[in-house]
Structure 1
Amino acid sequence: MLSHHEYLVRERTTEAQRHAREARVARELSARRRWHRVAQYAQAAETRHARRLHRADVR
């Protein structure tokens, strides 16, 4: 049977692991959103560039 101290240590370790797991998930989601925004920006820049080239060819 666990002593009170062992129980508290185990509970604290479990809580620390849960917190670390949640922080890791939050960082991963943040990174995905950031890369998604970068991809959207790159796509928009590519579209703008293509339009400019097209306009230059038309003239």
Structure 2
Amino acid sequence: MESASPSENPPQHSSSRFAHLVGVLVALLTLTLPIMAIAKFSPSMTQPPQLPTYPMSQSRD
């Protein structure tokens, strides 16, 4: 048998509409679920942290 000859049984494409639908649903959940979780559990209004203020010392001239 030659190694370059085509095989007797070419690989079958088992494309199923159900498998395609499940793949699309998994992809959509993978993309949207983290964004939804971040939006739900992050604070809606964040205040910027206030830096401490220090009094200015006067220089002696």
TM-score, normalised relative to structure 2: 0.44
- Normalized per residue, the structure richer in helix is 1
